Structure formats: C-alpha cells, structure tokens
Structure 1
Amino acid sequence: MPITFRTGAKASRDRVVWAITYHQAAIRAALPSPPSMGLDPRTGELVVIIGSALAEADGGVAAIDAKLEQLTGVPVQVRVLEHVDRNLGLNGGARLDGIDPANGKRYLCTTGFAVTDGVRSGITTAAHCLDDMTYYDAQRRPTVLSFVGQWGWGYHDVQIHTGGSFDRPLVYSDSAHTIERPVEAQRSKPSTRAGDFVCHRGESSGYSCAEVELVDFAPAAELCGGACLPTWITVAGPNCKGGDSGGPVFSGTTAFGVVKGASYRRDGSCAFYFYMSLDYLPAPWTLVVEPDLATHSRAR
C-alpha cells in the first residue's frame, strides 16, 4: 500500500504531551474554568477547548492563545466549543443495570470486551458504573454478575465483572443486538492515529462510526479522581449518550478501547466521546481474542 510522510508539525508529540502533563494545573488556573486539552497530531499543536463566553472575554482567542503558548512553551490551537465534559452516566455492547443503594435509583451501563486473568473469564465496563450489576442478553434474559474490581484514577476507567460465560469473544455491532462480531485483534494506543475510522456500541445511543480526532486528550472536568492525564482518545461522535459508558470501541474485528465519557454541546448533542485504550487493562487481565479460545476454554 502507498505510504505518505507529511512534515511540518510545529512540535513533537512527546513535547506537547509533556507540556499538557506538566502544565495542566497551571493552564487550568490561568483560565476562569478548566478547559479540555489534547494533542492535534496533524499539526503538532496543543489543542485547548474553551467555551464561547471565555473566548469573547480578555482579548478573545488570540490573547488566550498567546498566553498559553508563553506558559507552556509549545504551539497552542484554541478551539471554541460550547460544551460540557462528563462521564457517560450509568446506563461489549450489551445492557448492564443495577440499583444504587445510596438513592434507590436504577442506572444503566454497557459491557465492553471479554477478558481473562488466566483462570477466570470476565467482562469489562466503566469504573464509574455501579459495583452490583445485572447483565441482559439480546433476549433480555438477566445474569447477575460478580464485581471483581475497579480502576478509575488518572488514566483508568474500567471495572471487571465475572459470573457469566461465553463461547466466543463477541461484540454487538448494530443498535438492535442482532449482529455479533468476533474480536480477533487489539490495536494499541501508540498505533492509533488521528483519522482512524472506529465504531462504538452504547446501550443508549446504539451503533455509530466516526474518525479518531485527538489521541492524547485530557477532559476538562474532574472525571479521574481529579484532573485526568492526557491518555484518552477522542472520536467525533456522532452519537453518544448517558448509559454508553463502558461500551466497546472497535474497527472491524479489532478492539480499540472502552468508552469513558463525552463532550456535549449546549443543545445536548454529542460533540465527541472519549475512550480508554485497552493498553490500560489492569494486570493480569488481558483481552480475549478468537485465537485464544482454546486456552480460554481450558481456563474457564
């Protein structure tokens, strides 16, 4: 296949990601409200996403751009988007729900991928989902799952449940739970590029596909037990809703990650969603793929 090399990036990836990591607190303190930020790998710029009210104050976008470039020492691209970043609620592509003992309300989430620790088989979802969840198959038959653990700080948003069983590692790849797709490979974060075309299935928004935008993203809100590290990957929607949390992100039969949250426009529409790469599955848990089935069956 043809390979094209493009030059002219204004800064290296390592330099921009280091600037986000090292200066994140200072950037947040320099603005009236904390922005989202990430690396635009096409231009080599630190992307800072702010609301329109902030863009119209204190000299506008140009003044903010110059201020942040001086602060970080890297080129900055300010984007204006009236948005709210948040976890995708408690609503691989199947329904989970449970009742929060704190308020008695029922919440939804979405299953991600089949995983194994070499002894047990399990299923992933998002760490901010409830601990006690029930799985529902396409015929709405319930299976009560057992909580193993959750990892939800800095660069993690994943939890693992056991209690169900599976013959193959499959994800639903349509809104109606009628099409099952096998998981045959895993794409690492370093191999993920802006412009990659990926899909996700969420229990609330259904099935949709779009392009990867930012591969080193830090959400604006305190969604990671505090400020998030620039390890998240954004996808340009077009669909995302509360309840999609934990759902699978994939391309064909290749697994990419699990949905964490999204950024919503003022009218409630999905601006983009962001996911955790499967590189960050907690050891010793690993993704189950089709070639592993013989080993998985023995372990189960």
Structure 2
Amino acid sequence: MLRHAVAALALVAGTPTIAQDAATVVSGEAALAQDAAEVARVRGIDTAAALRLLRAQAASVAATEWVEGRYRDRLSGISIERDGTVAVLLTGQRPVADGEVRDGDIVVPIRFRTGAAATRTEMLDAIAKYQATIRAMLVRPPAMGVDARRGELVVLIGGGDAAGDTTALRRRIEDMTGVPVRIATTGRPDLDLAGEVVGGSRLIGPDPTTGRRYFCTTGYVVTDGVQTGVVTAAHCPDTLEHVARNGARTPLTFIGQWGWGFHDVQVNTSPAATLPLFHPDAARAVLRPVEAQRSRAGTRVGDMVCHRGESSGYSCAEVEMVDFAPSGDLCGGPCLPTWVAVAGPGCRGGDSGGPVFIGTTAVGILKGGSYRPDGSCVSYYYMSLDYLPDGWRLVRSTPSVPEDRDAVQPAAMSAGP
C-alpha cells in the first residue's frame, strides 16, 4: 500500500537576490545540457540522445497544438513516446495519414491511431459532471484523470476500496459516465507535500495555529507591474523568511494566497526579489534565467520535465497525466482535473512551491505527491503557470514571447487529412 505525505510547505528556487551569492548564471544551452544529462541517467540512454529528445520535445509543441485544433472533435489524447514520436489517439475508424514536423535537422514523426471510445472533452465532462457521485461511491475520495495513451478515464482508488469488487465499480462508473473507465490503486489519498519541523531551511515560517516552524521552496519571481515577489504553494505559512546560502534572512511580505479548485499558489514580495533567475540544483551553486514559459496546453503525456525541491534537490521525470484531479479535498474541496502529474522518484516533504521547468523554460510550481512505505516518491503533481493569480505574471529575462511560439510552426508540419 502506498503512503502519502501529509501537508506541504516549500520555497527556494527563484530566490531573492540576496540568496544568489556565489552562484553562477548559466546559459540556456548549458541548462538544457544539464537536464539532458539527468534525462539520460533516468532513461538509460546516452547524453547526446537525451539532448536530441529534449530538442524534439520542444520542436513538436506547436505542431501538437495544431493537431489538437484540427482534430478537436475526434481527439482522445496526445502523448510523446520514448523516442520522441508524437502519438495521437482519435475516436472513430476513419484513418488519418501519419506526418512529421521538421525544425532544422530535427524530424519528429507524428503517428495517428483511431478507434478510441471517447474524446478528451467527453472524459473531462464526465469528471465535471460525476466527480461528486463517484466520490460518494468510495470510502476515500479518489483521484481522477485522463489517460491520454489509452483514451480512458482513470479512477485512482485507495487500498481499502480496492478490497471490494473493482470490476463492478468500473462497470457502474462506465454506465453512468458513458466513457471507458480504468480503476487503478494508489493506496491512501494524495496529500500535499509536508515540510518537516526544521531550522535553517531556505524559507521558513510559523504555523499560525501551532507555532511550529515549517519550510517551503520558492517557485519563480513574479510581478503585478508595481510589486515584485516570489510564488510558492498556498499551503505554506503566510509569514515567511527567506534563508540565503550564506545564512542571511530576508523577511517576505505576504500578499495573498489562492488555494482552491485549480490553484495552489501564494505571493510574497521582497525588494530583493527582482531578477528572473532560479536555482535548479540541490546546492544552489547555479542559477538559470527564465527565458520562456510553457503552457499546460503545450505539455504532453510523455514529456520530460525537471524540478527543484528544498528536500529532494534536482531531478527529471516523465509527465504521466496532464488532466489530473488529486484525491481528497486538497483544493478547498475536490480538485479540478487541471493538475499535471509527473512520475517519481524525485519528491519529498518540503518541496512544495518549487519550480518545475525544462532548460530555461518555466513550466509550473509543485503542489503535492505520494510516497511508498519506504519513503520513496511515487509521483508528484504541479500547478501550471497558466494559473498564476490574476494580475500577476512571470518575470522573464527575454521579451514575453511564449515558448510554444518559438517551436516549429504548423506550416512546417506535413500530415494527412
């Protein structure tokens, strides 16, 4: 049975400038090379192949958005295979010719499969309409999501519920929703990543009820056009101090928190938080500029992303679902299926609020995850930067051109009707 974490608190990459002493700012090429080395280690391939994979991943973003627009009425899911091929699953039996996308010397195949029983829209509508009813069928409120590879609504149930007749449960849910359903077992429900009671962490603050001190990880520097600050998870303490590498502490001013439905984000300001930089490494010896932002729409199952947490350090892993609703009531009630789930093992308590990225492209901030009994991470999930609070935006080191637009344009893609 899986054991899930209990509460989450974290703040560290994208740190105020006072924390950036003796750190080296690296180029976008160097940043991508570092991620490629980690991807190579995780995938068991050579670094050159991993670098080609990450370049192909970026090159195919605009093309997959084009595919989604053209085949929206039939689209069940889009995913990235281990060799970088874009796999498109469609409803119906009318075939679509395979295609490819080119960006310089990069060629990304696009493969179409037909025969799915439901579209992505139909599965998301089923979650929206029947989530409360499905929760009421079970002892513990389940997590739910869309399996983009198989075209199924996935219901992730706890170990206690799994002791019953899951076949009958699946059929009941299928009959009710009208979409294909798969029941999977996760053990206890996901909970936010809890920070341990520690001193001397990168960002610490007291719990207003107990007075105990918790730590978090910063995400990115943001601005509303007047003030500049950092984001972290909404379930961190309101009163926070940033702790620099040299031990210096910077009090941060609490602005607000948004923690319901599709949000888990908090803004704290500081005059020192002005540079669009973040730490990707455990030692905080390196800084990366924020040069681009990737949307949730531009993120696919099978993409590789990396994150930095105050407890777990630095790691890269594969996106498992882009339409994920965590279990329990972690979002001021049931969560919406807007979270992105990523495979472990790189997460620990205290990582919440930390940056999710690839190279110098910002992707999201971490919310929570689940653990095995031995303490290893099964998976984590993050909030896309699409959902920053109204009026706040990412501070970037380059003009505000979405990373997705920098990828190969649809005109460079060839595909059948």
TM-score by length of 2: 0.67
1:286 Cα deviation from its structure 2 partner: 0.3
Identity percentage of aligned residues: 55
1:136 Cα deviation from its structure 2 partner: 1.6
* Structure possessing the higher relative contact order (Cα contacts under 8 Å, 6 or more residues apart): 2
8 Å Cα contact 1:84-1:265 kept in structure 2: no
1:167 Cα deviation from its structure 2 partner: 5.3
1:226 Cα deviation from its structure 2 partner: 0.7
1:168 Cα deviation from its structure 2 partner: 3.0
Query: How many Å separate the matches in 2 of 1:103 and 1:292?
Result: 44
8 Å Cα contact 1:256-1:277 kept in structure 2: yes
Name the counterpart of 2:396. Answer: 289
SS at 1:63 equivalent: helix
Structure 1 segments (4+ residues) deviating >3 Å: none
Q: Deviations over 1:58-83 (max 9, x none)?
A: x2x32222121112111111112224
Is 1:6 aligned to 2:140, yes or no?
no
Q: Deviations over 1:191-233 (max 9, x none)?
A: 1100110011111111111000011111111101111111111
Q: Name the aligned partner's letter for residue 395 of structure 2.
A: V
Query: How many Å separate the matches in 2 of 1:265 and 1:187?
Result: 30
Q: 2:189 aligns with which of 66, 84, 88?
A: 84
Higher helix fraction (1 or 2): 2
Q: 1:75 aligns with which of 177, 180, 193?
A: 180
8 Å Cα contact 1:83-1:266 kept in structure 2: no
Query: How many Å separate the matches in 1 of 2:185 and 2:274?
Result: 47
Larger radius of gyration: 2
8 Å Cα contact 2:229-2:273 kept in structure 1: no
Q: Which moved more, 1:134-143 or 1:124-133?
A: 134-143
Query: How many Å separate the matches in 1 of 2:274 and 2:264?
Result: 26
Name the counterpart of 2:307. Answer: 200
Query: How many Å separate the matches in 2 of 1:13 and 1:164?
Result: 44
Q: Which moved more, 1:10-19 or 1:252-261?
A: 10-19
Name the counterpart of 1:160. Answer: 267
1:20 Cα deviation from its structure 2 partner: 0.8
1:164 Cα deviation from its structure 2 partner: 3.8
- Write the mapping of 1:117-132 to structure 2, written as runs, cut at 5 A: 117-132=224-239
8 Å Cα contact 1:90-1:128 kept in structure 2: no
Q: Name the aligned partner's letter for residue 322 of structure 2.
A: V
Q: Which moved more, 1:165-174 or 1:177-186?
A: 165-174
Is 1:98 aligned to 2:196, yes or no?
no
Q: 1:65 aligns with which of 127, 148, 170?
A: 170
Query: How many Å separate the matches in 1 of 2:348 and 2:177?
Result: 34
Query: How many Å separate the matches in 2 of 1:273 and 1:213?
Result: 10
Q: 1:38 aligns with which of 128, 141, 145?
A: 145
1:292 Cα deviation from its structure 2 partner: 4.7
Name the counterpart of 1:232. Answer: 339
Q: Name the aligned partner's letter for residue 50 of structure 1.
A: I
Query: How many Å separate the matches in 2 of 1:70 and 1:40?
Result: 19
Query: How many Å separate the matches in 2 of 1:167 and 1:231?
Result: 29
SS at 2:132 equivalent: helix
Query: How many Å separate the matches in 1 of 2:246 and 2:181?
Result: 50
Query: How many Å separate the matches in 2 of 1:81 and 1:152?
Result: 24
Q: Deviations over 1:81-111 (max 9, x none)?
A: 22431111246xx921112232121101110
Is 1:188 aligned to 2:284, yes or no?
no
1:141 Cα deviation from its structure 2 partner: 1.6
Query: How many Å separate the matches in 2 of 1:160 and 1:145?
Result: 9
Query: How many Å separate the matches in 1 of 2:111 and 2:389?
Result: 35
Instruction: Describe the shift of the 1:260–1:238 C-alpha distance in structure 2 as closer, same or farther (beyond 3 A).
Output: same
SS at 2:190 equivalent: strand
Gaps of 5+ in 1: 294-300
Q: Name the aligned partner's letter for residue 152 of structure 2.
A: E
Q: Name the aligned partner's letter for residue 256 of structure 2.
A: G
Query: How many Å separate the matches in 1 of 2:258 and 2:190?
Result: 20
Q: Name the aligned partner's letter for residue 237 of structure 2.
A: L
Name the counterpart of 1:296. Answer: none
Name the counterpart of 2:35. Answer: none
SS at 2:398 equivalent: helix
Query: How many Å separate the matches in 2 of 1:207 and 1:180?
Result: 13
Query: How many Å separate the matches in 2 of 1:166 and 1:55?
Result: 47
Name the counterpart of 1:297. Answer: none
8 Å Cα contact 1:114-1:123 kept in structure 2: yes
Instruction: Describe the shift of the 1:166–1:128 C-alpha distance in structure 2 as closer, same or farther (beyond 3 A).
Output: closer
SS at 2:320 equivalent: coil
1:265 Cα deviation from its structure 2 partner: 2.7
Query: How many Å separate the matches in 1 of 2:215 and 2:285?
Result: 20
8 Å Cα contact 1:88-1:245 kept in structure 2: yes
Q: Deviations over 1:129-164 (max 9, x none)?
A: 111000122222210000111111111000101114
Q: 1:171 aligns with which of 278, 296, 299?
A: 278
